[in-house]
Structure 1
Amino acid sequence: MAGAGTSQLSPRWAVFLCLFTILCSLFTPAVAVKENDFKKCDQSGFCKRNRAYADNAVALGSSWQAPYKIVPGLASFKDGQFNAIILKTIDEQGNTVRLPITVSFLKSGTARVTVDEQRRQEKDIELRHNSGARPERYNEAEKWAIVGGLEVDKNAKVAHESETGIKIQYGPDSAFEADINYEPYSIEFKRDGATHIRLNDRGLMNLEHWRPKIEKPEPEKKGGEEGQEEKKEEAPEVPASADESTWWEETFGGNTDSKPRGPESVALDITFLGYEHVYGIPEHAGPLSLKETRGGEGKYSEPYRLYNSDVFEYVLDSPMTLYGAIPLMQAQRKDSTVGVFWLNTAETWVDITKAKESKNPLALSVGGAKTNTQTHWISESGLMDVFVFLGPTPRDITKSYGELTGTTAMPQEFSLGYHQCRWNYVSDDDVKEVDRKMDRYKIPYDVIWLDIEYTDDRKYFTWDNDMFKDPIGMGKHLDVHGRKLVAIIDPHIKNVAGYHVSDELKSKGLAVKNKDGNDFDGWCWPGSSYWIDAFSPAAIKWWSSLFNYDRFKGSMENTFIWNDMNEPSVFNGPEVTMPKDNLHHGNWEHRDVHNVNGLTFHNATFEAMLSRKKGELRRPFVLTRSFYAGSQRLGAMWTGDNQASWEHLGAAIPMILAQGISGFPFAGADVGGFFGNPELELQSRWYQAGAFYPFFRGHAHIDARRREPFLLAEPHRSIITSALRLRYSLLPAWYTAFYHANKDGSPIIRPLYWTHPSEEGGFDIDDQFFVGSTGLLVKPVVEKDKTTADIYIPDDEVYYDYFNYKKLATSKGKHLTVDAPLESIPLLLRGGHIFPRRDTPRRSSQLMKFDDYTLVVAVSKKGDAEGELYVDDGDSFDYEKGQYIHRKFKLEGSTLASTEAEGRDVKSIKEGEWLKRMRGVSVDKIIIVGAPSSWASKKEVVVESEGKKTTAPLDYHKTEDGKNAYAIVRGIGAGIGTDWTISFA
Structure 2
Amino acid sequence: MNWINGLGRGWKALVAVACVLCLLVTPAVTVKHENFKTCDQSGFCRRNRAYADTALSNSKWQSPYTLDSSTVKFDKGILTGVVDKKITNTDQTVRLPLKVTFHESGTARVTIDEEKRQKGEIELRHDSKARKERYNEAEKWAIVGGTVVSTGAALNKDAEKGSTRVMYGPGSKFEAIIQHAPFGVQFKRDGETQIKLNDRGLMNMEHWRPKVDKPETEQKEGEEAVVAESDNIAEDESTWWDESFGGNTDSKPRGPEAVAMDIEFPAYQYVYGAASHAGPLALKETRGGDGKYSDPYRLYNSDVFEYEMDSPMTLYGAIPFMQAQKKDSAVGVFWLNAAETWIDITKSTSSANPLSLGIGGTTSTDTHWISESGLLDLFIFLGPTPQDVIGAYGELTGYTQLPQQFSIAHHQCRWNYVTDEDVKDVDRKFDKSKIPYDVIWLDIEYTDGKKYFTWDPMTFPDPINMQKQLDEHQRKLVAIIDPHIKNEGGYSVVDELKSKDLAIKNKDGNIYEGWCWPGSSHWIDCFNPKAREWWKTLFRYDKFKGTAKNMFIWNDMNEPSVFNGPETTAPKDLLHHGNWEHRDLHNINGMTFVNATYDAILSRDKDEDKHPIRPFVLTRSFYAGSQRLGAMWTGDNQAAWPHLEASIPMVLSMGISGFPFAGADVGGFFGNPSKELLARWYQAGAFYPFFRAHAHIDTRRREPYLAGEPYTQIISQALRLRYSLLPAWYTAFHEASTTGAPIVRPNYYVHPSDEKGFAIDDQLYLGSTGLLAKPVTKEGQESQDIYLADKEKYFDYFDFWQYEGPGTVSVAAPLDTIPLLMQGGNIIPRRERPRRSSGLMKYDPITLVVVLGNSGDAEGTLYLDDGESYEYQSGAYIHRRFKYSTSTSSLTSEDVSSPGKKTKEYLKLMEKVRVERIVVVNAPEGWSGKKEVEVAEEGGAKSGKSGKAELEWHGKVEGKAAWAVVRDPGVRVGEGWKIQF
TM-score range, shorter chain: over 0.9
AA of the residue aligned to 2:867: G
Partner of residue 881, structure 2: 888
Tell me how far 1:29 sits from its aligned partner.
Answer: 3.0
Residue of 732, 740, 744 corresponding to 1:745 = 740
Partner of residue 332, structure 2: 339
Q: How does 1:811-850 map to 2 (within 5 A)?
A: 811-812=805-806, 814-850=807-843
Partner of residue 935, structure 2: 943
Residue of 563, 568, 582 corresponding to 1:571 = 563
Distance 2:884 2:595 in 1: 44
The 1:240/1:968 distance shift into structure 2, 3 A limit, reads closer
Distance 2:735 2:63 in 1: 45
CA contact (8 A) 1:22 1:572 kept: no
Tell me how far 1:962 sits from its aligned partner.
Answer: 6.3
Tell me how far 1:162 sits from its aligned partner.
Answer: 4.8
Residue of 181, 184, 191 corresponding to 2:182 = 184
Residue of 962, 969, 972 corresponding to 2:969 = 972
Q: How does 1:634-653 map to 2 (within 5 A)?
A: 634-653=629-648
Tell me how far 1:969 sits from its aligned partner.
Answer: 0.4
Residue of 860, 873, 883 corresponding to 1:867 = 860
Partner of residue 346, structure 2: 353
SS in 2 for 1:835: strand
SS in 2 for 1:257: strand
SS in 2 for 1:733: helix
Distance 2:340 2:64 in 1: 24
Distance 2:754 2:507 in 1: 53
Residue of 768, 783, 797 corresponding to 1:802 = 797
Partner of residue 632, structure 1: 627
Tell me how far 1:712 sits from its aligned partner.
Answer: 1.0
CA contact (8 A) 2:345 2:368 kept: yes
The 1:198/1:700 distance shift into structure 2, 3 A limit, reads same
Distance 1:519 1:896 in 2: 70
SS in 2 for 1:122: coil
Partner deviation per Cα, 1:337-380 (whole Å, 9 max, x = no partner): 0010000000000000000124x742575332211100000000
Tell me how far 1:23 sits from its aligned partner.
Answer: 7.6
1:314 and 2:312 are equivalent in the alignment: no
1:149 and 2:143 are equivalent in the alignment: no
Tell me how far 1:240 sits from its aligned partner.
Answer: 8.7
1:439 and 2:431 are equivalent in the alignment: yes
Partner of residue 614, structure 2: 619
CA contact (8 A) 2:124 2:253 kept: no
SS in 2 for 1:655: helix
AA of the residue aligned to 1:342: W
Tell me how far 1:806 sits from its aligned partner.
Answer: 2.0
Distance 2:862 2:149 in 1: 35
Tell me how far 1:584 sits from its aligned partner.
Answer: 0.5
Distance 2:109 2:154 in 1: 16
Tell me how far 1:31 sits from its aligned partner.
Answer: 3.2
Partner of residue 983, structure 1: 980
AA of the residue aligned to 2:978: T
Tell me how far 1:258 sits from its aligned partner.
Answer: 0.2
Tell me how far 1:910 sits from its aligned partner.
Answer: 4.3
Tell me how far 1:903 sits from its aligned partner.
Answer: 6.0
SS in 1 for 2:434: coil
Partner of residue 70, structure 2: 73
Q: How does 1:771-810 map to 2 (within 5 A)?
A: 771-808=766-803, 810=804
Partner of residue 231, structure 1: none
Distance 1:725 1:182 in 2: 62
> Aligned Cα RMSD in Å?
1.8
SS in 1 for 2:346: strand
1:101 and 2:93 are equivalent in the alignment: no
Residue of 155, 171, 174 corresponding to 2:172 = 174
Distance 1:88 1:655 in 2: 40
Report how many residues are paired.
953
AA of the residue aligned to 2:205: L
Please give the TM-score of this superposition, normalised by the length of structure 2.
Answer: 0.95
CA contact (8 A) 1:897 1:979 kept: no
SS in 2 for 1:925: strand
Q: How does 1:478-557 map to 2 (within 5 A)?
A: 478-557=470-549
The 1:874/1:73 distance shift into structure 2, 3 A limit, reads same
Greater CA drift, 973-982 or 87-96: 87-96
1:584 and 2:581 are equivalent in the alignment: no
CA contact (8 A) 1:691 1:724 kept: yes
Q: How does 1:680-759 map to 2 (within 5 A)?
A: 680-759=675-754
1:88 and 2:85 are equivalent in the alignment: yes
AA of the residue aligned to 1:587: N
Partner deviation per Cα, 1:399-452 (whole Å, 9 max, x = no partner): 100110000000000001100000000001000000000000100000000000
Distance 2:869 2:902 in 1: 16
CA contact (8 A) 1:475 1:485 kept: yes
Q: How does 1:208-357 map to 2 (within 5 A)?
A: 208-216=206-214, 241-357=234-350
AA of the residue aligned to 1:819: A
Greater CA drift, 89-98 or 681-690: 89-98
CA contact (8 A) 2:800 2:960 kept: no
Distance 1:910 1:55 in 2: 63
Partner deviation per Cα, 1:873-896 (whole Å, 9 max, x = no partner): 110100111111000000002444
CA contact (8 A) 1:505 1:511 kept: yes
Unaligned residue ranges in structure 2 (runs of 5+): 1-6, 217-229, 939-943
AA of the residue aligned to 1:76: K
SS in 1 for 2:121: helix
Partner of residue 220, structure 2: none
CA contact (8 A) 2:153 2:168 kept: yes
CA contact (8 A) 2:145 2:398 kept: yes
Greater CA drift, 937-946 or 685-694: 937-946
The 1:240/1:338 distance shift into structure 2, 3 A limit, reads closer
Greater CA drift, 895-904 or 698-707: 895-904
The 1:718/1:457 distance shift into structure 2, 3 A limit, reads same
**Percent identity between the aligned chains?**
62
Distance 1:735 1:135 in 2: 48
Please give the TM-score of this superposition, normalised by the length of structure 1.
Answer: 0.95
Unaligned residue ranges in structure 1 (runs of 5+): 1-8, 219-236
Tell me how far 1:805 sits from its aligned partner.
Answer: 1.2
Tell me how far 1:14 sits from its aligned partner.
Answer: 5.6
Q: How does 1:900-979 map to 2 (within 5 A)?
A: 900-902=894-896, 904=898, 906=899, 909-911=901-903, 914-946=906-938, 947-961=944-958, 963-979=960-976
CA contact (8 A) 1:91 1:239 kept: no
AA of the residue aligned to 1:974: V
Distance 2:890 2:491 in 1: 64
Tell me how far 1:897 sits from its aligned partner.
Answer: 3.7
Partner of residue 198, structure 1: 196
Residue of 126, 130, 134 corresponding to 2:131 = 134
The 1:339/1:26 distance shift into structure 2, 3 A limit, reads farther
Distance 1:122 1:801 in 2: 71
The 1:549/1:511 distance shift into structure 2, 3 A limit, reads same
CA contact (8 A) 1:898 1:978 kept: no
The 1:210/1:22 distance shift into structure 2, 3 A limit, reads farther
Distance 1:745 1:903 in 2: 18
CA contact (8 A) 1:111 1:387 kept: yes
The 1:903/1:516 distance shift into structure 2, 3 A limit, reads closer
